[in-house]
Amino acid sequence: MKIRALVLATTLAATGVAAQPVNSSSTTRFDGAWTVQIHCPSNTEESGAKGYKYAFPATVKDGFLSGSHGEEGTAGSLRIEGQIEPDGEATIRAHGRTGIPDYAAKKPPSGSAYSYTIKSHFEPTKGTGTRVEARVCNFTFSR
């Protein structure tokens, strides 16, 4: 067994190929702390939902973004999660519970569950996203 390892090492050295350590981490250029800003303007279409803005923290680890606003499972909460691809493209899933009915599409009762998709693009220090379903909401990601 030792002889095989020595032969392999000698062969690799002779061909100029160096053994590289295996990196178990999947750290990406997007990893770290981020601030998420959401802006949903007043919806003058069928739902008539009022506009709102707020910001909350998020973290990217191994290219996976996760962040939340409010206490998960309570009225007015939001959680976002999704993988950021090496090219910066991401499809983020959002889910939470509605707050004041006037600020939600179709005015469901406070505490109603909802979910939607955010189509996003990231660069190393910033990103943008747009809500895909129901009403218009824009996201800005910064660090």
Arch. (CATH architecture) of 23-142: Beta Barrel (2.40)
pLDDT in tens, 89-113: 999 999 999 999 999 988 899 999 9
Question: Buried b / exposed e across 39-51, counting CB within 10 Å, b at 16+?
Answer: ebeebeeeeebee
CA atoms of 66 and 141, how far apart (whole Å): 12
> Scanning the structure block, which residue is given the tokens 């009762």?
109
How many other CB atoms are found less than 10 A from the CB of residue 26?
A: 10
How many other CB atoms are found less than 10 A from the CB of residue 78?
A: 21
CA atoms of 56 and 140, how far apart (whole Å): 11
User: Using CA atoms in the order 124, 59, 62, 78, what is the torsion angle rounded to 10 degrees?
Assistant: -110
3-state SS assignment for residue 84: strand
pLDDT in tens, 121-140: 999 999 999 999 988 999 99
DSSP 5: H
pLDDT in tens, 33-87: 999 999 999 976 667 899 999 999 999 999 999 999 999 999 999 999 999 999 9
Written as one letter, the residue type at 57 is P
CA atoms of 21 and 136, how far apart (whole Å): 47
Tell me if the pTM is above 0.85: no
